[in-house]
């Protein structure tokens, strides 16, 4: 996305029912906060629509169940959230302005209420297990999203998938060193050592970078003008050498020292020399009549490595309060 088209915001909010009927709210003042990440729990959205008629507000509250929100700029508008309405609240700011607040979640019904009860014979490959899980989730409306090429080696014994599909999916992802999440109704599986292939978005001040990227304990955080092309699990290229470094604590012993060693050696505090970063979190905030129109990312370096044995031994030597490696 070039700097020349980063004005004249584009926006679409459609709220409707399961039968396909719905209303478009692009002409209203709308504020929104979209929370998206590579964690397993469903993504969510909080949307406020101003000054609706009583009839329209009642439709949203009593009859509509789904929504989709797209935003961006001319030539670069895309879907940033699709989900089911969980709560609708009507309110008033003053005598002139009223609002309807809508809270929605992406794939929460499938996440919470998908059962599975199936047996797989000996020799079933991880791909076969994954397809059994996808089939279960499809009963609640999810579709298969990105998944890597899984190993073709079959299991020595048969296995049983029983209980909630999310628990079996969590176990499967851990066994195959992947993370899984639900993105716009798609079941997504990404290897812990890889990312979703595709075009790498370049992040510079001329393409929307705002301020200076900040190194934190959770990863590299940066803000850009709202960009719907930034997806969870993909790679972006930060074309800037300016990064505000994380400040370590000064205590020389105990938990603080463990934190310092861990953060200095861990992936969360590693910079990529080529500026390549994996997107873990991409939150979108916007106001169709205000200033907010941002995408806030939390990223990890693509070539981040596991802490060395010496670093881990130093952590363990500090005792039970030291940070433990990943389970």
Question: What does the domain layout of the chain look like in residue ranges?
Answer: 3-106, 110-183, 201-316
DSSP strands (E only) in the chain: 10-16, 22-24, 30-35, 44-50, 66-73, 76-92, 98-105, 115-120, 143-144, 159-164, 178-183, 186-191, 201-203, 209-216, 219-225, 235-238, 276-287, 293-301
Sheet of 143-144: strand order equals: 143-144, 186-191, 178-183
Q: d(Cα 239, Cα 209) in Å, to the nearest integer?
A: 10
Instruction: Provide the CATH number for the domain formed by 201-316 in this structure.
Output: 2.40.30
Is the distance from CB of 98 to CB of 91 less than 8 angstroms? yes
* One fold for 3-106 and 201-316: no
pTM: 0.84
Specify the pairing of strand 76-92 against strand 66-73. antiparallel
Q: What tens-digit pLDDT sequence spans the chain (327 residues)?
A: 444 467 889 999 999 998 878 999 999 999 999 999 998 899 999 999 999 999 999 999 999 999 999 999 998 999 999 999 999 999 999 999 999 999 999 999 999 999 999 999 998 999 999 999 999 999 999 999 999 988 888 887 888 999 999 999 999 999 999 999 999 999 999 998 888 988 899 999 989 999 999 988 788 999 999 999 999 999 999 987 788 887 766 665 555 555 555 555 454 456 777 888 999 999 999 999 999 999 999 998 886 544 444 444 444 454 433 333 333
C-alpha 97: how far from chain center:
33
Q: What is the pLDDT of residue 243?
A: 86
* Token digits of residue 318: 């500090």
Q: What is the pLDDT of residue 80?
A: 97
Instruction: Provide the CATH number for the domain formed by 3-106 in this structure.
Output: 2.40.10.10
Q: What is the pLDDT of residue 244?
A: 86
Q: d(Cα 100, Cα 30) in Å, to the nearest integer?
A: 10
């Amino acid at each position: 996305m070039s700097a020349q088209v980063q004005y004249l915001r584009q926006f679409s909010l459609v709220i409707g029912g399961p039968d396909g009927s719905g209303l478009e709210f692009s002409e209203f003042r709308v504020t929104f906060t979209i929370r998206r990440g590579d964690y397993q729990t469903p993504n969510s959205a909080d949307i406020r629509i101003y000054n609706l008629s009583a009839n329209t507000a009642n439709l949203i509250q009593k009859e509509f169940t789904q929504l989709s929100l797209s935003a961006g700029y001319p030539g670069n508008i895309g879907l940033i959230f699709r989900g089911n309405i969980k709560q609708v609240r009507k309110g008033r700011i003053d005598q002139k302005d009223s609002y309807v607040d809508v809270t929605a979640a992406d794939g929460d019904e499938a996440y919470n209420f998908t059962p599975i009860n199936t047996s797989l014979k000996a020799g079933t490959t991880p791909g076969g297990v994954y397809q059994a899980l996808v089939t279960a989730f499809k009963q609640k409306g999810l579709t298969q999203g990105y998944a890597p090429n899984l190993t073709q080696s079959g299991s020595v014994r048969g296995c049983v998938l029983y209980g909630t599909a999310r628990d079996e999916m969590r176990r499967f992802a851990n066994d195959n060193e992947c993370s899984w999440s639900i993105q716009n109704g798609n079941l997504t599986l990404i290897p812990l050592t890889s990312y979703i292939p595709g075009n790498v978005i370049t992040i510079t001040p001329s393409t929307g970078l705002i301020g200076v990227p900040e190194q934190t304990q959770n990863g590299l955080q940066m803000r850009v003008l709202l960009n719907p092309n930034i997806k969870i699990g993909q790679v972006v290229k930060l074309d800037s050498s300016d990064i505000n470094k994380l400040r370590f604590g000064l205590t020389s012993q105990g938990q603080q020292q463990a934190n310092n060693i861990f953060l200095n050696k861990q992936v969360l505090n590693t910079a990529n020399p080529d500026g390549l970063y994996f997107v873990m979190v991409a939150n979108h905030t916007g106001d169709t009549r205000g200033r907010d129109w941002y995408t806030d990312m939390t990223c990890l370096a693509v070539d981040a490595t596991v802490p060395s044995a010496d670093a881990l031994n130093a952590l363990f030597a500090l005792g039970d309060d030291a940070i433990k490696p990943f389970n």
